[in-house]
Structure 1
């Protein structure tokens, strides 16, 4: 067998093997091991902080010359880890992976010179995730000619930063790539830990003229005064914005979006902002929002829902999580306004579900076009309420009930009787749902492709049917 199959055919077979089977391939023969390594295009590695691990990285990567995607993270963080070790690792990657397109590098901050080395050695790099220390420069980005996705975490580790080294690196990078504004190819930008003192953001905002998606995490500012003024320059074609735990800047960013961005289609705000700032954005915005995802326990109420019903009646997706102050009145008004367009609704851990009996039935009657429904982590949701909604939602393809502890077998029977188009279901942590009900569900759901449930709740019959019907099971 080893001599009959040509190299190309063996590699094609390796590509089609399930992940759990690939480890056995390398044990067949040296030829199979060599060909398997040549066929590998994606790796995820956890490195120990010891020098031996870092030194062995380059020889290991050299056995996988066609890597296009690489994720590197430390097995543990130790006080002895420094940016020096991060630079050594990054230089090893640069020298060994010429075809790299995606790099996720979760180590200590790297130097500007090591980034320039990466750009020269990996010209096809389109996605990069790294850490930088303060103060920082972004001029090195000009040398990444193909970079579309950029994710940066800013850190200030005590004893790590050397100002003389930074200034030297910055001067070298400026000499190589110039100091003027640029037009970067970046379309997706994610920043974590930015501050109001980050003056270098001024250049970044001005240079990201092709930005389509912006994500800010745990950010306290969008730069100094000049940076704030330049921020609007990257908003013109922006389509998606995510603001996670950015309470100090949410209102300012939302106001800039309302005034300067008409192309926005998706907005996510988690754990931050104010009632007034959010209401101002909804009222002033002239964009055609299609998706809204909010986790605002104390900053979202019926006034916001009523404003959305008036201004955002083209929504196709509405996701609300842990929103304590909304009521059935606000949700029903919103549902009536969006009855012809809303395809996805999520009410995750929203106590209005248990506070107002009959709410789900009314929502179901108004939202008959729903394809995706997420009621996860509503621990007090009972069979009667869910069934009353499912009777009207006949077009559902995805249903998430994870953590709904009071649901029983009766709810499962209603699922396959009312929802004939279900393709994906999550019923993990539903204590009242038993083995027999899951077996019936698998047998009677003709379009089911994926079920998320505890392994011990699958009978032998259910397992056999998941295999025969090619249904993916996720524990």
Structure 2
């Protein structure tokens, strides 16, 4: 069997195998030939390792077996201990050099080992010019001008380290006009006074998706005015744990963005800021995902019903102040919605699910049994089982079909 199939055919077969450890183990046990062909056909590799100098030699040897890699993920399982910042930087840069010199066909790179130096990034751009997606960590002061060196870059994920040494400093000409083709941008850890971010905002005019996490600012003093330039074409925005800037970002979106169709806000903002956005946004928002335990109440949901007429998906998590849901006539809602409601809206007291054909008796019964604060439910009589009716009486829940 081993000699009947040519190398090219085996490689095509291996490309179609599931990316699971069991599949890789099964192939590798057949013969050395199969193992070598499997490695040479593999286009994606994900590695998690402990920091040790022996890893440098091992990684160089390992990557030589995978000449066709287009996607590579390297993640450190533990921080680099017993080493000063210069030693840690040297380890990271050496590892980064091995990647850039061994994987010239990369399209996607996720490198979360430690802050990457500017010189290493410029070196990467010469070796891997086709990169379209980069995920890395950077130290301060920030230098982001290297982005221009990647002409195919569409997705950029930056984790800003709170402490670190960037020996090159800013190295950024703020007057440089270098508009690039980024469509997705993820930023984590931006603090007030971080320079260089304003330059990034000014040149991201094709941005479609923006994600901010653990950010206390959008950069230094001038960055918010530059931020307006990148929001006009946004279609998706995710804001996670960015309480101090959520209101400002939502205000700019409401005033300047007419293309937004998806918004996620987790753990941040204020009641007033969110309500202002809902009442004034000009976009046809279709998906709204909120995890706001103390910042979302019935007033917000009423505003959603009045103003977000194109909404097709509403997801609420840990929304403790929401007590009244009117879903009458929502024909695409299913029982899965009620299961999720019972788990996430613990204070739910009233729900109207009349004329919702996707909701069946089983889901109604589940809602009655699991919502301890429920006091009123409006639903068709034929969807109320005997068990649901008994429990409704026991828990003093008014069930009507009006």
Counterpart for residue 107 of structure 2: 101
The yes-or-no answer on 1:111 pairing with 2:100 is: no
Question: Which residue does 1:5 correspond to in 2?
Answer: 5
1:349 is matched with which residue: 341, 344, 349?
Answer: 344
Could you report, residue by residue, the CA deviation over 1:279-337 in whole angstroms, capped at 9, with x for unpaired residues?
Answer: 00111101000000000011001111111111102111000000011112xx21xx24x
The answer to whether 1:141 aligns with 2:127 is: no
Deviation at 1:368, TM superposition (A): 3.6
The one-character-per-residue Cα deviations of 1:406-437 (angstroms, maximum 9, x if unpaired) are: xxxx99xxxxxxxxxxxxxxxxxxxxxxxxxx
Range with bigger deviation, 198-207 or 179-188: 179-188
Give the TM-score of the pair, scaled to structure 2. Answer: 0.84
Q: Does structure 1 conserve the Cα–Cα contact (< 8 Å) formed by 2:134 and 2:157?
A: yes
1:381 aligns with 2:370: yes
Residue 205 of structure 1: aligned partner: 201
Aligned with residue 78 of structure 2, among 72, 76, 89: 76
Aligned with 2:303: secondary structure? helix
Instruction: Name the count of aligned residue pairs.
Output: 369
Question: Could you list the runs of 5+ residues in structure 1 that have no partner in the other structure?
Answer: 395-409, 412-475
| Distance of 1:325 and 1:297 partners within structure 2 | 7
Distance 1:246 1:129 in 2: 20
The aligned counterpart of 1:264 is: 260
Give the CA deviation at 1:73.
0.8
Q: Would the aligned equivalents of 1:49 and 1:76 in 2 still touch at CA under 8 Å?
A: yes
Instruction: For 1:86 and 1:45, locate their aligned partners in 2 and report how far apart those are by CA, in whole Å.
Output: 15
Say yes or no: does 1:41 pair with 2:21.
no
Gaps of 5+ in 2: 389-402
Q: Tell me, yes or no, if the aligned pair for 1:236 and 1:261 is still in contact at 8 Å.
A: yes
Q: 1:237 aligns with which of 226, 230, 233?
A: 233
TM-score by length of 1: 0.72
User: Structure 1 residues 72-81 or 42-51, which shifts more?
Assistant: 72-81
Root-mean-square deviation (CA), in Å?
3.0
The aligned residue for residue 392 of structure 2 is: none
Residue pair 1:351, 1:378 contacting (<8 A) in 2 also = no
Give the whole-Å Cα distance in 1 for the aligned partners of 2:168 and 2:82: 21
Q: Name the CA shift for 1:238/1:366 in 2 (closer, same or farther; >3 Å).
A: farther
TM-superposed deviation, 1:370 = 7.8
Contact 2:142–2:195 under 8 Å retained in 1: no
CA–CA separation in structure 2 for the residues paired with 1:21 and 1:146: 33
Indicate how the Cα distance of structure 1 residues 289 and 34 shifts in structure 2: closer, same or farther if over 3 A, else same.
Answer: same
| Structure 2 match to 1:437 | none
Residues 243-252 or 32-41, more deviating: 32-41
Of structures 1 and 2, the one with the larger relative CO (CA 8 A, separation 6+) is: 2
Correspondence 1:293-442 to 2 at 5 A: 293-328=289-324, 331-332=325-326, 335-336=327-328, 339=330, 345=337, 346-347=340-341, 348-353=343-348, 355-356=349-350, 359=351, 362-363=352-353, 365-368=354-357, 381=370
Residue 14 of structure 2 is matched in structure 1 by 14
1:57 match: secondary structure? helix
Tell me the CA shift for residue 25 of structure 1: 1.5
Which whole-Å CA distance do the structure 2 matches of 1:34 and 1:58 have between them?
16
Tell me what 1:251 maps to: 247
CA shift at 1:33, angstroms?
Answer: 1.8
Q: Is 1:287 paired with 2:283?
A: yes
Q: How far, CA to CA, are the matches of 2:66 and 2:116 in structure 1?
A: 24
Tell me the distance in 2 between the aligned counterparts of 1:121 and 1:201. Answer: 26
- Residues 14 and 391 of structure 1: is their aligned pair in 2 closer, same or farther, counting only changes over 3 Å? farther
Compared CA separation, residues 88 and 299, structure 1 to 2 (3 A)? same
1:53-202 paired onto structure 2 within 5 Å? 53-80=55-82, 82-157=88-163, 160-161=164-165, 165-167=167-169, 171=171, 180-202=176-198
Deviation by residue 1:208-236 (Cα, 9 ceiling, x = unmatched): 01100000001000112211100000011
Secondary structure in 1 aligned to 2:114?
coil
TM-aligned CA distance change 1:185 to 1:240, over 3 Å: same
Tell me the CA shift for residue 30 of structure 1.
2.3
- Are the equivalent residues in 1 in contact too, given 2:162–2:189 (CA < 8 A)? no
Q: 2:27 & 2:379 partners in 1: Cα distance?
A: 47
Deviation by residue 1:441-468 (Cα, 9 ceiling, x = unmatched): xxxxxxxxxxxxxxxxxxxxxxxxxxxx
**Cα pair 2:191 2:219 within 8 Å, conserved:** yes
Structure 2 counterpart of 1:443: none
Return the alpha-carbon distance in structure 1 between the equivalents of residues 300 and 117 of structure 2: 45
Give the drift of 1:83. Answer: 2.2
CA displacement at 1:45 relative to structure 2: 0.7
Q: What is the SS of the residue equivalent to 1:34?
A: helix
SS in 2 for 1:248: helix
Deviation at residue 199 of structure 1 after TM alignment: 2.3
